Every structure is written in C-alpha cells, then in structure tokens.
Amino acid sequence: MASLVGSRVERKEDKRFLTGKGKYTADINIANQTYAVFVRSPHARAKIQKIDLSRALRASGVVSILTGDEIAKDKIGGLIAGWAIRSEDGTEMKIPANPPLAKEHANFVGEPIVVVIAESLDEAKAAAELVSVDYKVLKGVVNTAEAMNGETIHEGIDKNLCFDWLLGDRKAVEQAFAKADKIIKVDLINNRLVPNAMEPRACVTDYNTASEEITLYTTSQNPHLSRLIMSAFGGVAPENKLRVVAPDVGGGFGSKINVYNEEIVCSWASKKIERPIKWVAERTESFLTDTHGRDHVTHAELAVTNDGKFLGFKNETIANLGAYARVFGTVTPTYLFGPCATGVYVIPAAYTNVKAVYTNTAPVDAYRGAGRPEATYTIERLVEKAAMELGIDKTELRMRNFPKQFPFKQTLVHTVDSGDYGAGLEKAKKMSDYDGFQARRKKSEASGKLRGIGVSSYFEACGIAPSAAVMSLGCGVGLWESAEVRFNPTGQISVYTGSHSHGQGHDTTFAQIAADELGVAMENIDVVHGDTNKGTFGMGTYGSRSLTVGGVAIVNACRKIIAKGKKVAAKMLEVSENEIDFKNGEFVALKSNKKKTIGEIAFALYLPGSRDSDFKSQLPEGMEPGLIETAFFDPANFSFPAGTHICEVEIDPETGEVKVEKYTAVDDFGRIVNPNIVEGQVHGGIAQGIGQALYENAQYDETGQLITASYMDYTMPRADNFPEFNLGFTCTLATTNPLGVKGCGEAGAIASPPAVMNAVIDALGGQEITMPATAEKVWRACKSLKKSNYKAA
C-alpha cells in the first residue's frame, strides 16, 4: 500500500464546509432557548457608580438581567493568566482581578458590565438599550510606550507594570558590545492587530435540571482546557458537570484560546434561569473584545565586526498586555519571544528585557506566531540594516552567521535539533532570482518606480511543548497531547484527539497518519475532536502543536493497537509473537505466510469465540477483549521549523502605493504529511504577515476608543493585494518525534513581515518606516528621498 503521508490528499472536511453543511456554534439552536446581549463599557476607563435596571426589566420579553454583583455573590471566578512570569528582581508578576462582568471599574471599551437575557434577540437588544449605567469617566492609559507614566489603572500595580523580565546576561552583552566595530540600532513598533477570525465568537449554553450538567457549545481552540479553566478557576461547575463542545470553528489564530467573559456568564446564567442561552458576537464586538495581537515597542542593538561577525544582541521591549493579562498574554512577550530573539544566528551574548504594561485597551494575547513574529521582526530588521551599513550582501551576511552544526545550542534557551539554514537560503535565492534583482530594479526605475528586495531568514520554536520545561518557566499546565484510537467491531476506526481543528484540516492529516500506521483505507477512519465528552482530555490547538504533539500521540496509540493485535494474531496463527510481522494492515506469520488482517483481529477482539469453536477464547489468556488504545505524548523538545522568505516590492513614489511583486518562501517543516494543507497554511500565514506589514493596524485614539473597529476602517488584505506565492521546501527531519515533523501553522506569519518591510526599506534607500507601510507613509518617505536627491543604489 502506498504511503498516504506525503501525498496530496484532498481535504475531507471541505465537502461539508463548501456545501454549507458545517455546523458552527451559531447553527446550534435548542428548544426554549433565550438570547443574551451584553451591555459593554463605552469608556476606556471609568468607575461604575450605579447601574439602573428598572426600565430594562420592564421591557418586553426580558427573562433576566444580571450584573457583576450577582456573579460575585455566586463566587464565580474571573478570567486568568495562564503563565506566571517572574521579574528580573525576583518578584512575581502583578495580576489584577478580571471579573466576568465588571463590577467597580471598566477598563477597556467593550468590557462587559451587564447581561440582558430575553426571549428573542431583538427584545434583548431593545432592553439592553434601556440599561442605564452611571459612569465616572477617568483618564485612560492608551499608549504603549507611555503606559508606565500614566495613572495607575489597577490598584496596587505601580507604573501599570505587570513584570520587568530578563532573559540572558546583561554583563556578557556589555562585554561583547565593547569589542564591536559597529553597533547597529533599530527602534521598532510591532503594530497591534485584530485577529479577525471569519466566524465571530459565540456560545450556546444549556443547563439540564435533572443531570445538573451544563453543556457549553462554544467557539474554542481548546475545549478541554476551557472546561478546566471554567471549572477550576471559574467555579462554574465541577468538570464532570460541565461539557464543553467546540463544533466546527471558523478560524481562531489564537483569539479563541481564551475562555471569555461571555462563555462564563452564559454558562452560569443558564443554570440560574434554567433555560438555554444563545449569544453570538456582532462584528463590532469581535473587534472590541477578541484578544488582539502584537503591540510591542522595541529598541534593539546588534554588535558586529567589520567583517560581519555577530558578537552580541540586546533587546529592550515594552509589551502592551491591554487591560488584563489573559491565558497566553504573559508568555507571548516572554518565553515565546525572548528565546527566539537571536534568530537563526550564532550570537555569543544576548539578552532580552521585556516590560509588560497594562493599558485601557482590549487584552493582547497570542496571535498567529505569538512572540516569534515579534522576535523575527526585530532580528531580521537588525541584520538587514547591518548588511546595509557594513556593505555586505544581505544573504552573504546571513550565511556567515548561520550555525554550521546541528544540534545547535542557542545562546538563550533552545537547542535546535535539526536544520540547514544555508540550504534554505540558497534555494530561496535561486527561486526568487535574487541575482537578477538589479536588472529588475533598473526596469522599475525606467518607469519612475522604486523597487526593493527584502530577505527574512527565520526559525521558530513551536510544537508546544515539553511539559516539565514549560511548567518550570511558569506555565500553569502541561502541554502534552492525547489520542485515543478505537476500532469498531466491524473494522472502522475512530481517532479521538485532544487537539482541535478550526481550519487546519485535522480530519484529513490525522486520518492519513493513522491510515499509514494501521494499514487501512483512509475512508475507514474518522477523526473526532472538540467535545469533552468524547475521547481523552487534551490541550487543544495553538503554537503549531497539533501534528508535532497531537499527531505523535495518534501514532503511539496506533502502535499500541498493533502491539495488542500482534498477540492475538500470534494465538490465532499458532506461532509465537516474535514470528509475526505487521505490514500493510496484515499480521503475517513469517514462516507460514499465513495472514490475519487487522480487521479480522479487531473482530476477534470484540467477538472472541464462534459456534464452531470450543469454550476457549481466541484471545491469549488473560487478555481483555476490545480494541481501544490511548496514548499521551509529551514531547522532549520544541519543534523548530525554519526557512528564508524573499520579498520584492515596487513603489509608486507619486502615490506611495506598495505593490508586492514577488514573494518566495522556502520552509523546512521536516516531513510533510499533506503538501496541499501545508501550502495552504503557508499562504494564510504570508497573507496575514503582508497584512501586518502593509495594511492592518488596530488604532486607538487618545481616549481609548478603537477607531478601526469595522472593515470600513480596518484594512484586511485581499487576494488582489498579493502576487502568486512562490513556495519551496527543504527537509531536515525533526529528531524529537517519530514522524520527523515540524510545525507549519505559524511560519508564514512569522517570516513575512520583515521580508516585506526590508524590501520596502530597501526601495526607500534605507529610510526606516513603521508598520503598516501605508501609502501615505511611503509617499512621505519618497518625498524626503527626492529632497535629498537620493538615487536608489
């Protein structure tokens, strides 16, 4: 049987998605359900003085209206930060209370204050407009760089500082800098982004008065983790009385990791009113309250010698957490950022210092790449600037500083098991016709345009993560993954995974893996996920972990199935176990060549006797019937995909418009299970990265109003903003998992922003510009180019 791993199998899930047969949370309706609408703070920072519900309570169709007082009375806990980060001085991070319904203070525009539950959505909306909240408006803290000088947002948290964290050795860095010929410096802003999943957040909650169980249907990337948090920290219900179902989910990008206010409130309220409740976010609510991404202000320096050797690196960053620290809010700008800050280079001394601040803006959390795009943007901007200042070709400078051997022990945290960064760069140069760039530049100039080329070589640490390692760094949970493989008596297989697919194509890739392991047709395998009542507990999907951690758990469970099957086959074929070989779905007795298919073995395990046999079981003595195996996989290390992306842009200096002319991506994801799906992941990541570089920007005004809270003002990139992506792959197998795979979900978004910005800056003759490089910004930069009579080199 040909191997399915590595082949372009069409996505099994697409039939249901493309024919409208998907089932999303908003598609779920339960008899007798009510509808929730949230009254949200219109102010960035305000004291809640009085809430008057009297008019709203009299409105038509109102079932119940609940506030922060009631939720506090019922001792329902707030939202949590999942990682405890310690400051450089040894003190623990400062975390404010984050109640599901704000009681005394509102700290960002959109924060929920009151929930109105009514018989219909229209009635709930109408009643919500009658809720009167008396606010004392306070001066908000909005600007990231200025946050430490603003008024204290949360009582007892001085300078609005959550932590002041250090990774690395300041002294070693100072010594390295003292030896440098040149110090390259950059000041960067990593712009704030709204994740914009196609499906807005939603939940449907259903309390069963007989079983006393709450069922929460929700838009989550990690239903098991949500249940754990809601049970252990929220106190909503014990785990055995709380079922969390995340059905089809239309994109997450990190924004659906968190348990949100609305899920907690509706679950709790459903029990209180003993009726189902449905809530679906409107797009404006998504803009205002989904966790945002990035928002760093960085000063970084690279110490180099005149012949282009990197000696030291320092990074001083202020990271905006928003109003509250959420699940991955504190780890994103620390352990997902700092360890990757030195990029794909040998840099003997390095440190990263991060000051994480609170502001009166939406909470900032993981967004596709989480920390690694920020790290890559910093180092790759520095390296490109170094190349310019040293007069060394940008690819040559990178080559000189790549590690020559693997495993590669980085200065900061990671030991990278495998890679070949030079091979990726060489391939990207060829595929992009790097050497032909000057000719293309001349051609652009002849028509009055500016042309630039930018390179971004990256690695990232994903496949999160070894449990002991992350727990030692402050993670509140282990990041293993589980799988259960169940044979039906008649031979079909259900594969349960604790990870969750919200667009990644697990139904297909996981079936490919299991089909190869078990030697059965893919059509006989169904992948099941997203329901805490089905299969084993799992940690969910984020950090490009599903295949490298969850996929391996599936492999291991399959191998346990085969091990059990072998014992049965040995008995049935009357040979010893070590005389049995398993191949292509068949157990073969080596000497006699007699065979039993895995289906026959499964059948025998469920029906271990027959009319013609005697009283003796077909199973080895003492063996339990049934064929179900479970595996938990805890990886030994992160997974380290890497590669080089090369971008070429053309600028019209009269309008400042930037056109991405060519985009080449060469990635090393180890073994590729399904090239179609991997290419799709890379495309999506690059699209979001180009979006960050050229278009997207979540902008608050000085009072803390989000002024880009709709698609009229927030620019999502569209297909006509992109050229055809030119994709290539190199392969060094991961050595830390049996599949040899590396994560691929975030790489595109990690590598692309610096590739694009380096190209824009190259076109502008080295003139620096902040993301997003909008047409007006670029036009202004072009104007100052003209003034200085700069001619692109």
Partner 1 sequence: MKTFNYHAPKDVNEASKLASVNSVFLAGGMTSIPSIKLGLASYKDVINIKHIKKLSGIKVAGKSLIIGSTTKHAEVASSKDVQKEIPSLAKLAGRIGDAQVRNRGTIGGSISNNDPSACYPSACMALNAIIHTNEREIEASNFFIGMFETALKKNEIVEAVEFQIPEKSNYQKHPNPASRYAIVGVYLAKYKDKVNVAVTGAKSCVYIDSDLSKKLSSNFSTSAIEGIKLDSSEMNSDIHASAEYRANLVMTYAKKAVEAC
Residue with tokens 């979900």: 745
Tell me how crowded residue 708 is: count the other CB atoms within 10 A of its CB: 17
**Contact flags string 93-112 toward partner 1, x per CB under 8 A:** --------------------
Nearest to 753 by CA among 365, 367, 393, 421: 367
Q: Which of 345, 695, 700, 725 is close enough to bind partner 1 by CB under 8 A? A: 695
Tell me how crowded residue 307 is: count the other CB atoms within 10 A of its CB: 10
Q: Contact 333/649 with Cβ under 8 angstroms?
A: no
Q: Which of 467, 617, 708, 726 is close enough to bind partner 1 by CB under 8 A? A: 708
Q: Contact 334/321 with Cβ under 8 angstroms?
A: no
Please give the residues from 326 up to 385 whose contact with partner 1 meets the rule CB under 8 A: none
Determine if 702 is a binding residue for partner 1 (CB under 8 A).
no
- The residues, ordered by sequence, that sit 6+ positions from 745 with a Cβ below 8 Å of its Cβ are 368, 462, 504, 544, 546, 681, 685
Determine if 779 is a binding residue for partner 1 (CB under 8 A).
yes
Q: Which of 14, 654, 702, 784 is close enough to bind partner 1 by CB under 8 A? A: 654
Q: Which of 62, 605, 774, 785 is close enough to bind partner 1 by CB under 8 A? A: 774
Is beta strand 34-40 parallel, antiparallel or unpaired with respect to 277-280?
A: parallel
- Piece in contact with partner 1 (CB under 8 A), picked from 220-228, 493-501, 593-601, 769-777: 769-777
- Could you tell me the smallest distance in angstroms from the CB atom of residue 480 to partner 1? 42
Q: Contact 507/530 with Cβ under 8 angstroms?
A: no
- Could you tell me the smallest distance in angstroms from the CB atom of residue 761 to partner 1? 20
**Contact flags string 150-189 toward partner 1, x per CB under 8 A:** ----------------------------------------
- Could you tell me the smallest distance in angstroms from the CB atom of residue 713 to partner 1? 5
Give the Cα separation of 140 and 44 in Å (integer).
6
- Piece in contact with partner 1 (CB under 8 A), picked from 121-129, 236-244, 362-370, 377-385: 121-129
Cβ-based nearer residue to partner 1, 460 or 652: 652
Nearest to 644 by CA among 377, 423, 415, 336: 423
Nearest to 83 by CA among 343, 300, 360, 371: 371
Determine if 784 is a binding residue for partner 1 (CB under 8 A).
no
Cβ-based nearer residue to partner 1, 174 or 657: 657
Determine if 122 is a binding residue for partner 1 (CB under 8 A).
yes
Q: Which of 149, 711, 735, 738 is close enough to bind partner 1 by CB under 8 A? A: 711
Cβ-based nearer residue to partner 1, 727 or 773: 773
Give the Cα separation of 610 and 743 in Å (integer).
48
In total, the chain counts a number of residues equal to: 793
Cβ-based nearer residue to partner 1, 630 or 708: 708
Give the Cα separation of 685 and 369 in Å (integer).
9
- Could you tell me the smallest distance in angstroms from the CB atom of residue 464 to partner 1? 33
- Could you tell me the smallest distance in angstroms from the CB atom of residue 774 to partner 1? 8
Q: Which of 15, 306, 707, 784 is close enough to bind partner 1 by CB under 8 A? A: 707
Cβ-based nearer residue to partner 1, 232 or 775: 775
- Could you tell me the smallest distance in angstroms from the CB atom of residue 782 to partner 1? 11
Helix (H) or strand (E) holding 132: strand 132-137
- Piece in contact with partner 1 (CB under 8 A), picked from 34-42, 122-130, 312-320, 549-557: 122-130
- Could you tell me the smallest distance in angstroms from the CB atom of residue 712 to partner 1? 4
Determine if 775 is a binding residue for partner 1 (CB under 8 A).
yes
- Could you tell me the smallest distance in angstroms from the CB atom of residue 448 to partner 1? 11
Q: Which of 2, 31, 446, 712 is close enough to bind partner 1 by CB under 8 A? A: 712
Nearest to 475 by CA among 352, 329, 339, 354: 329
Cβ-based nearer residue to partner 1, 169 or 657: 657
Q: Which of 126, 162, 464, 539 is close enough to bind partner 1 by CB under 8 A? A: 126
Cβ-based nearer residue to partner 1, 127 or 370: 127
- Could you tell me the smallest distance in angstroms from the CB atom of residue 51 to partner 1? 22
Cβ-based nearer residue to partner 1, 127 or 259: 127
- Could you tell me the smallest distance in angstroms from the CB atom of residue 708 to partner 1? 7
Determine if 667 is a binding residue for partner 1 (CB under 8 A).
no
- Could you tell me the smallest distance in angstroms from the CB atom of residue 144 to partner 1? 18
Instruction: Say if residue 42 is preceded by a cis peptide, omega within 30 of 0.
Output: no
Please give the residues from 54 up to 73 whose contact with partner 1 meets the rule CB under 8 A: none
- Could you tell me the smallest distance in angstroms from the CB atom of residue 447 to partner 1? 12
Cβ-based nearer residue to partner 1, 652 or 746: 652
DSSP sequence for 382-434 = HHHHHHHHHT--HHHHHHHHS-SSSSEE-SSS-EE----HHHHHHHHHHHTTG
**Contact flags string 612-651 toward partner 1, x per CB under 8 A:** ----------------------------------------
Q: Contact 379/345 with Cβ under 8 angstroms?
A: yes
Give the Cα separation of 421 and 432 in Å (integer).
17
Q: Which of 632, 714, 725, 729 is close enough to bind partner 1 by CB under 8 A? A: 714
Helices 372-390 + 394-401 axis angle, to 10:
110
Nearest to 371 by CA among 541, 190, 642: 190
Q: Which two tokens stand for residue 131?
A: 């809720």
Determine if 198 is a binding residue for partner 1 (CB under 8 A).
no
Instruction: Say if residue 465 is preceded by a cis peptide, omega within 30 of 0.
Output: yes
Q: Measuring CA to CA, how many Å separate 578 from each of 360, 519, 557, 574, 605?
A: 66, 19, 20, 12, 20
- Could you tell me the smallest distance in angstroms from the CB atom of residue 26 to partner 1? 17
- Could you tell me the smallest distance in angstroms from the CB atom of residue 705 to partner 1? 12
> Count residues contacting partner 1 (CB under 8 A)?
22
Q: Which two tokens stand for residue 649?
A: 């842009």
Angle at 299 between CA 400 and CA 85, to 5 degrees: 100
Give the amino acid at 293: G
Q: Which of 716, 735, 738, 784 is close enough to bind partner 1 by CB under 8 A? A: 716
Give the amino acid at 332: T
Q: What share of the chain is helix, strand, coil (3-state, %, to 5)?
A: 30, 25, 45
Q: Measuring CA to CA, how many Å separate 164 from each of 86, 217, 444?
A: 8, 38, 47
Q: Which of 13, 70, 123, 517 is close enough to bind partner 1 by CB under 8 A? A: 123
Cβ-based nearer residue to partner 1, 599 or 656: 656
Torsion of CA 357, 360, 363, 365, to 10 degrees: -30
Determine if 285 is a binding residue for partner 1 (CB under 8 A).
no
Give the amino acid at 487: F
Determine if 715 is a binding residue for partner 1 (CB under 8 A).
yes
- Could you tell me the smallest distance in angstroms from the CB atom of residue 129 to partner 1? 9
Q: Which of 18, 47, 713, 735 is close enough to bind partner 1 by CB under 8 A? A: 713
- Could you tell me the smallest distance in angstroms from the CB atom of residue 116 to partner 1? 15
- Piece in contact with partner 1 (CB under 8 A), picked from 248-256, 370-378, 416-424, 771-779: 771-779
Give the Cα separation of 771 and 696 in Å (integer).
8
DSSP sequence for 750-783 = HHHHHHHHHHHHHHTTT---PSS--HHHHHHHHH
Sites of contact with partner 1 (CB under 8 A): 122-123, 126, 654-657, 695, 699, 707-708, 711-716, 774-776, 779-780
